[in-house]
Structure 1
Amino acid sequence: MNKNILAVLGGTVLALTGADASAQQLTLYGEMDTSLDYISDVGGRAQYRADSGLIDGSYWGLRGTEDLGGGNAAIFRLERGFSVTTGEPFDDHPFYVGLQSERYGTLTLGRQYDTMYDYFAPYTLTGGAGGTAFAHPFDNDNANNSWLVSNAVKVASATYGGLSAGAMYAFSNAAGRFAQNRAYGFGAHYDGGAFNAGVAWMHIDGRGASSVGAYDTSVLPGAGLVPAEVAVQREDTIGAGMSYALGDVTLGAAWSRSVHTGVSSADGGAPLPSVAFSNYEVNALWQVTPAFTLAGMYAYTNAAATSAAHWHQGALQAGYQLSKRTDVYTEAIYQRASSGAFAMINSCDPSGGRNQLLVSAGVRHRF
């Protein structure tokens, strides 16, 4: 971030927190996450690396609220991701503006999280304490939010008797091709105190078919099950999850299925096998002390395709809070693929075979 950008941000903060501060609030916030990793097999060789964002992607953001009276407000959110280790910027965080009502809910417009992330992901460990490396293979259900949705209009209800729901529509923005690279979905959540549950569904037409549409291209098993960047003619994803708190231990379970048909290479358009993933996960989080947490999960993923493949994945994580804003962590993730498939833990390059182990230690700071 150069001095000119800092000057603009500083001026914006001063302007919006000046004379009208009682009606308008602006918050500058963010997070930095960096780690040292060991990966047992990347293309047949061990890898040692300095990493950024292994649990949470590092980012900075601005969040604003203007009181409109009567329990209503105008809101906006602007975030930008970056690599702590290289300084590279990432377009992996939301930008949106909207209206909020204490009585009815929220309407937002912009580049946003989809309904799978909002209503299903919290019951997976990748959508909670575990973070990036705990995602299901290829993040096929988007529980780790590998892809945000552009051109999106999203509504989220207020909570009534523990129940809340939401829906989203994302435009293709292509003239004469209204259904080319568009998306829509819905989700619902129940908060019963110790017991919580959620369900979500997303549908995408013509994913990656245009650069101005709802979603970027995806990554799926290509020829020989080697990971490939692809466009997808039709994609449907559904997920359901639940959690139950027993004192200091929270137990969770999640299931999802994503079906990808009309798959083609993003480079050249060559047809590739359609694929349907089914993911099954159980997880647990133990708050050992107010500062110390342990988390673990096991997930099984089956891919029905021209060549069927499946993956087993187990993971453990320990975190210790040094202060309100700073914590340290260590984690280990092991993945084993079926014969003929490649192990590829999320955030890692593919292994040279069926097995891959990631061991990491890192530090996070929030501001």
Structure 2
Amino acid sequence: MKYRDIALATSLLVAGTGAAHAQSSVTLFGLIDTSLLYSSNARSNAAKPAAGGGTQWQEFAGSIYTPRWGLRGIEDLGGGLSAVFWLENGFNSTNGTFKNGGDLFGRQAWVGLSAREYGTLTLGRQYDLMVTYVAPLSATGSGFGGNLAEHPYDNDNLNNDMRLNNAVKFTSVSFNGFKFGAMYAFSNAAGEIANNAAYSAGLSYTYGPINLAAAYLQINRDPNNPNASGAASTGDGDALTTGGLQRMYGVGAQYMFGKSSVGLVWTHSSTDSVSSLWFGGSTSNGALPGPSNGAGNYIKFDNFEINGRYFVLNNLSLGASYTYTMATFNSAHSGANPHWNQVMAQADYLFSPRTDVYIEGVYQRVGGGNGIGAFDAGVYTLTPSTNNQQVVVAVGLKHKF
């Protein structure tokens, strides 16, 4: 719902200025997603698979989309130019606590200028171009399957678990179906301009029912001298790996028929000197064998996904995805060539455009892990499996406002 020149906008955003601009607008928005969730083979100690475990039942926030609320606004500056901003908080709807390491606006926080004929330039904490262009063609992330459909460790960031701080980002308007974007995120470190700086680029093309996209992201890091406040923060709980140079790139295609769709996505990611993975919602839980700084370690992933969603009725959809992920891990201590088979299925019923109920299930099986605990099965931030298989089923309710 939109509020024009309301007290909330005035107190939060223009305190001390006397009054908001007569042609500005502020939107309060949000989403709550809470479910009852079953996991098989869950570890009793998330960091130690040998400790055993068993079935886990829990109330869980964000099986599909992480609960969030925020403020976004626009001010018409004339001549097709507007000032824009976005402040977005992530929270746990089961207990009311903050997500993203306790940051107030840990999901997004940016301000910028938008030119009607060209595009938008923004500065702040925001998503890279893999998220902007490729993720919408996947089942995970902004796709219909959301969090539970995440590729292992969200190694390609299609589930937008990682944000970039200190970022300058440009995204164009559509030029005959083409859109493009570029981004640079500063390290903010004195004398170390490349230590935890990042850059990204992407493009998309839409022609009738066909959507195509490609993107690239690179994060430069020094594993011997971590910069926790750089582009990819290690202090907010959002880092997908700890280590050195990290690269991600991918392409996607989607065909729409009415509201229904089918899609194909391929992504590749790699990390030098990797010391841990984002596993069970924490990099510490996915520690890999090798020295503490990961020297000599290397890991790469390739993800192949096919997805589809069909609207049986205008307010009832059935969706599914299959992802095959293969990886190579090398270290002086041990190596492995793990591979994941993951199937997701979903039914979603809309009571209204803002409220729906769903049931979503995921089956994951891992092979080739060579006994390394980080390569056991594990879905999203849920408690990892004690072995190479896991089944997760969630029944939930979503509401948008």
> Any conservation in 2 of the 1:79–1:93 contact (CA below 8 Å)?
yes
Counterpart AA for 1:199: A
Alignment correspondent of 1:102: 116
Q: CA deviation at 1:216?
A: 2.6
Alignment correspondent of 1:125: 139
Counterpart AA for 1:146: D
> Any conservation in 1 of the 2:124–2:168 contact (CA below 8 Å)?
yes
Give the distance between the partners of 1:23 and 1:247, measured in 2 at CA. Answer: 36
> Any conservation in 2 of the 1:179–1:206 contact (CA below 8 Å)?
yes
| 1:37 and 2:49 correspond | no
SS of 2:120's equivalent in the other structure is strand
SS of 2:134's equivalent in the other structure is helix
Give the distance between the partners of 1:13 and 1:95, measured in 2 at CA. Answer: 13
> Any conservation in 2 of the 1:206–1:231 contact (CA below 8 Å)?
no
Ranges in structure 2 where 5+ consecutive residues have no aligned partner: 1-6, 44-52, 101-105, 277-282, 285-291, 330-334, 370-374
Q: 2:74 aligns with which of 45, 65, 69?
A: 65
Number of equivalenced pairs? 351
* TM-score normalised over the length of structure 1: 0.90
Alignment correspondent of 1:313: 342
SS of 2:244's equivalent in the other structure is strand
How do 1:129-278 residues align onto structure 2 when only pairs under 5 Å count? 129-206=144-221, 209-217=226-234, 230-264=241-275, 268-271=292-295, 273-278=297-302
User: Which string of whole-angstrom CA distances, capped at 9 and with x for unpartnered residues, describes residues 48-103 of structure 1?
Assistant: 00000111110110011000011110000001110010111023411000000110
Alignment correspondent of 2:103: none
> Any conservation in 2 of the 1:147–1:215 contact (CA below 8 Å)?
yes
Alignment correspondent of 2:326: 302
> Any conservation in 1 of the 2:153–2:240 contact (CA below 8 Å)?
no
- Sort the Cα spacing of 1:177 and 1:50 in 2 relative to 1 into closer, same or farther, 3 A: same
Alignment correspondent of 2:24: 24
> Any conservation in 1 of the 2:137–2:264 contact (CA below 8 Å)?
yes
- Sort the Cα spacing of 1:193 and 1:365 in 2 relative to 1 into closer, same or farther, 3 A: same
SS of 1:263's equivalent in the other structure is coil
Q: CA deviation at 1:359?
A: 0.5
Q: 1:83 aligns with which of 89, 92, 98?
A: 92
Give the distance between the partners of 1:131 and 1:250, measured in 2 at CA. Answer: 15
Alignment correspondent of 1:332: 361
Counterpart AA for 1:81: G
SS of 1:65's equivalent in the other structure is strand
Counterpart AA for 1:317: Q
Q: CA deviation at 1:232?
A: 2.0
| 1:357 and 2:391 correspond | yes
> Any conservation in 2 of the 1:197–1:242 contact (CA below 8 Å)?
yes
Counterpart AA for 1:254: V
Counterpart AA for 2:267: S
Counterpart AA for 2:115: S
> Any conservation in 1 of the 2:336–2:368 contact (CA below 8 Å)?
no
Counterpart AA for 1:282: I
User: Which string of whole-angstrom CA distances, capped at 9 and with x for unpartnered residues, describes residues 89-128 of structure 1?
Assistant: 0234110000001101000000001111001111110031
- Sort the Cα spacing of 1:324 and 1:150 in 2 relative to 1 into closer, same or farther, 3 A: same
Counterpart AA for 1:343: A
Alignment correspondent of 1:223: none
Counterpart AA for 1:190: Y
Identity %, equivalent residues: 41
> Any conservation in 1 of the 2:155–2:240 contact (CA below 8 Å)?
no
Give the distance between the partners of 1:9 and 1:176, measured in 2 at CA. Answer: 39
* TM-score normalised over the length of structure 2: 0.83
Q: CA deviation at 1:229?
A: 7.7
Give the distance between the partners of 2:241 and 2:174, measured in 1 at CA. Answer: 38
Q: CA deviation at 1:15?
A: 8.0
Give the distance between the partners of 1:8 and 1:20, measured in 2 at CA. Answer: 11
User: Which string of whole-angstrom CA distances, capped at 9 and with x for unpartnered residues, describes residues 161-205 of structure 1?
Assistant: 000100000000000000000000100010112000000000110
Ranges in structure 1 where 5+ consecutive residues have no aligned partner: 1-6, 219-227
| 1:283 and 2:307 correspond | yes
Q: CA deviation at 1:14?
A: 10
> Any conservation in 1 of the 2:316–2:347 contact (CA below 8 Å)?
yes
> Any conservation in 1 of the 2:124–2:166 contact (CA below 8 Å)?
yes
Superposition RMSD on alpha carbons, in Å?
A: 2.3
Give the distance between the partners of 2:367 and 2:175, measured in 1 at CA. Answer: 45
Give the distance between the partners of 1:203 and 1:278, measured in 2 at CA. Answer: 16
| 1:345 and 2:376 correspond | no
Larger % of strand: which?
Answer: 1
> Any conservation in 2 of the 1:154–1:166 contact (CA below 8 Å)?
yes
SS of 2:39's equivalent in the other structure is strand
